[in-house]
Structure 1
Amino acid sequence: MPKKIIGNLTSMACASGLSSLSQACMLIEGGHADVVIAGGSDSVSNTEVPLPRAVTYGLMMAQRKGVMSFFKEAGYNPLKWFPGGIALTERSTGKTMGWHGDLIAELNSISREDQEALAAASHANAARAEKAGYFKEEIVPVTIDKKGKKAEVTCDDVMQRDTEKMKAKMPSLKPVFRKEGGTITAATSSTLTDGGSAMLVMSEEKAKKLGYPTDVCVKSWYFSGIDPYPQLLLAPVLGWGPALKKAGLTPKDIDLYEIHEAFAAQVLATIKCLKSQEFFDRYANGAKPVLTEDIDLSKLNVNGGSLALGHPFAATGGRIVTSLANELRRSGKRHGLVSICAAGGLGGVAILEHTARR
């Protein structure tokens, strides 16, 4: 792209990709841009790690006053210079995301068996979609250097393609976040991966002028927040109703659901709380629940979700939106809903419409 093209970064944890899409829509609707590329990326294999403050301050002083200033600030024991460990910690509580996921499972009575069933379905759906060639429409091959040799990455590498073998192994896995009373295992948690996603966004008029398809549009979006303790990952529950209202739709109008699978427990708790008056009394000032019955799981993450495909944080929103847009076209369905939880007690919901089905 030419250097005159401006850009900016947005950060909303796991909902960053969806946030960038909403900003793109607002720029276009407000007349501030005609075409926007929105998306996100994360590289967990190149993640930053925290250094002790004495070390960072010592390095800064060394640049100013010489190398001995480093030792004056950081000390002479190299063991104290080591960086801290990598942990996905919710800053407001000091607990890991997995710990919160386990707590959500406990509070909402989500069994380990149900979590494992959802995880197996995610992998099975992804394997079926891959075999059908659906992901070829979405994945851009990447060439990497592997031990001095060039290798092309053309597919996701965390998917369990033998789901029967996976089902047999899951019951023997130990809880990874809460040793006592925990139910979340490695199999029912999303895998941290490297990845990126991008969405080309423009008005219908501009798309027609440039020769792009105009058959899928962003109907509405809504971002919500919840007290991080104790239901950290359930903020999207509070966003479904407003997003549906903005789109002029009811839950019965939704044909496909894409709920980000941070943990199988969080997905199942989201579905359960969407019809819980107790939850809405506590967190939504007594508003009526969005659902009166569970959603049809055959409409959920039909081509797999983050449990099977990985979760490169900021890239997840773009992946989910792209997957849903393509599935609406393939299936001939009209409306799809995206639901993404994020750190900080944040959540994002968006509704897409396949306009060819109007």
Structure 2
Amino acid sequence: MSPTTLRRVAIIGGSRIPFCRSNTLYQDESNLSMLTAALNGLADKFGLAGVEIGEVGAGAVISHSKDWNLAREAVLSSKLSPLTSAYTVQMACGTSLQALAQLGGKIATGQIDSAIAAGSDTTSDAPIVFGSHFAKRLIKLANAKSLGERLAAFKGFRLRELKPASPNAGEPRTKMSMGQHCEIMAKQWQIGRAEQDQLAYESHKKAAAAYADGFFDDLLVPFAGVTRDNHLRADSTLEKLATLKPAFDRESGQGTLTAGNSTPLTDGASAVLLASEDWARERGLPVLAYLTYAKTASVDFVAGEGLLMAPTVAVARLLKDANLTLQDFDFYEIHEAFAAQVLCTLRAWESADYCRDRLGLDAPLGAIDPTKLNVVGSSLAVGHPFAATGTRIVATLAKLLAQRGSGRGLISVCTAGGMGIAAILERP
């Protein structure tokens, strides 16, 4: 193909295992077993058993050192051909969407004809490690060649050295959790508790309705005896949400983020099949939608910007690339890490000052139609296994567009490290 000819990137469909709150139904599972199940879900759904895929890009945020190439090991454990190459990627909560964007670029330029983007995460199987002092003793012990050297490795040993280092999802540069950062954002943008609880309530209600309508039937594959997301609360009420205490700011009396309007620690995996149109046509696979644009951005949260505000920048740049306005979409899939994050993002796009001073725009991006936002629920309802969320959203949005028959959808995902990633799916 000509270097200037780009092919359309077709989204064929997705598969995921049910998402479960950490330390519940998947406490004996690993990233490898969950990711393998998501890949097998695609293999069964689209007849890919024994098929060599162009590439698989997948990753996990919380992983063991033994999972140094998780994606390849999952491929080898799956029904896909072992000839399928795979690489592991990590971009915090944007991991699988970043993998999809990378693989989409390879399809567009003709490097490969098919690909699978995926992600898995579990905090039920988080790596527990010793502190550096005891770890160095173990290294010395492993390298010792005599009894004297082995004994010397433990000279001065203290029992406190056996205390493991607890897993920590806090930002290394600020020592603050994502929730603590989001509390600051909520205060900066004057996002109230009632607004956050309302968004969380609506997410649960919309997801419950989608389950009742069978929307998720062909997107989910049973795993470990589980057939349904176990965080979803169909009986959620605003009254129940209002009783919950602040989760990240318990001292000031001003905290608004709770366990009800924040995503829980979640275990799960998801995957999406994408391809060139010719590859899909040869196999008789329908195209649900097309990946047309993707963009990443970062903010300087150490200098005072909101940790989770990078998607506002990514989306603004994406709209410029696509020559679109914020209102030119039929669906908006904004990842609900916290209800406050979604609301801060929406308020920022409506702010003339923010859009001028931070985004360099002459006018605010404006408001979106709330009836088009996360129409089948999102992370607050189904959970958020960090690396799996991106491809969960892509599969959901592609199906919504296919059901509608045509249209355009915007994806926005915030990530740790002050980054964000956005994408556009379209169905002509």
TM-score, with structure 1 as normaliser: 0.91
Aligned residue type for 1:119? A
Separation in 1, partners of 2:422, 2:215: 24
Aligned to 2:131: 52
Tell me, yes or no, if the aligned pair for 2:96 and 2:390 is still in contact at 8 Å: yes
In the TM superposition, what is the alpha-carbon distance from 1:238 to its structure 2 partner? 0.6
Aligned to 1:27: 106
**1:103 aligned to 2:184?**
yes
1:204-235 CA distance string (max 9 Å, x none): 12211221112410011111111123301010
Aligned to 1:309: 382
Aligned to 1:197: 270
Aligned to 1:291: 365
1:70-125 CA distance string (max 9 Å, x none): 5237x231x33212233320122211001001001000000000000000000000
Cα distance change, pair 248–230 in 1 and its aligned pair in 2 (3 A): closer
Cα distance change, pair 68–276 in 1 and its aligned pair in 2 (3 A): farther
**1:235 aligned to 2:310?**
yes
Separation in 2, partners of 1:208, 1:120: 41
Aligned to 1:148: none
Aligned to 1:324: 397
Aligned to 1:149: none
Name the structure where helix makes up a greater proportion of residues: 1
How is 1:1-358 mapped onto 2 (pairs within 5 angstroms)?
Answer: 1-65=80-144, 67-72=150-155, 75-77=157-159, 79-143=160-224, 152-164=225-237, 167-179=238-250, 180=252, 181-228=254-301, 229-284=304-359, 286-289=360-363, 291-292=365-366, 294-355=367-428
Aligned residue type for 2:316? G
Cα distance change, pair 291–282 in 1 and its aligned pair in 2 (3 A): closer
Aligned to 1:147: none
In the TM superposition, what is the alpha-carbon distance from 1:247 to its structure 2 partner? 2.8
Separation in 2, partners of 1:67, 1:153: 48
* SS of equivalent to 2:281: helix
* SS of equivalent to 1:71: coil
Tell me, yes or no, if the aligned pair for 2:193 and 2:257 is still in contact at 8 Å: yes
| Identical residues among aligned pairs (%) | 38
Structure 1 residue runs of 5 or longer lacking an equivalent are 144-151
Cα distance change, pair 2–19 in 1 and its aligned pair in 2 (3 A): same
Tell me, yes or no, if the aligned pair for 1:34 and 1:206 is still in contact at 8 Å: yes
* SS of equivalent to 2:260: helix
Cα distance change, pair 217–158 in 1 and its aligned pair in 2 (3 A): same
Tell me, yes or no, if the aligned pair for 2:118 and 2:272 is still in contact at 8 Å: yes
Separation in 1, partners of 2:130, 2:364: 45
1:6-28 CA distance string (max 9 Å, x none): 11111100000110000111111
Aligned residue type for 1:231? G
Cα distance change, pair 313–69 in 1 and its aligned pair in 2 (3 A): farther
* SS of equivalent to 1:303: coil
Tell me, yes or no, if the aligned pair for 1:255 and 1:333 is still in contact at 8 Å: no
Moved more, 19-28 or 326-335: 326-335
Tell me, yes or no, if the aligned pair for 1:225 and 1:347 is still in contact at 8 Å: yes
Provide the alpha-carbon RMSD of the alignment. Answer: 1.6
Structure 2 residue runs of 5 or longer lacking an equivalent are 1-79
Corresponding pairs, count: 341
Cα distance change, pair 162–247 in 1 and its aligned pair in 2 (3 A): same
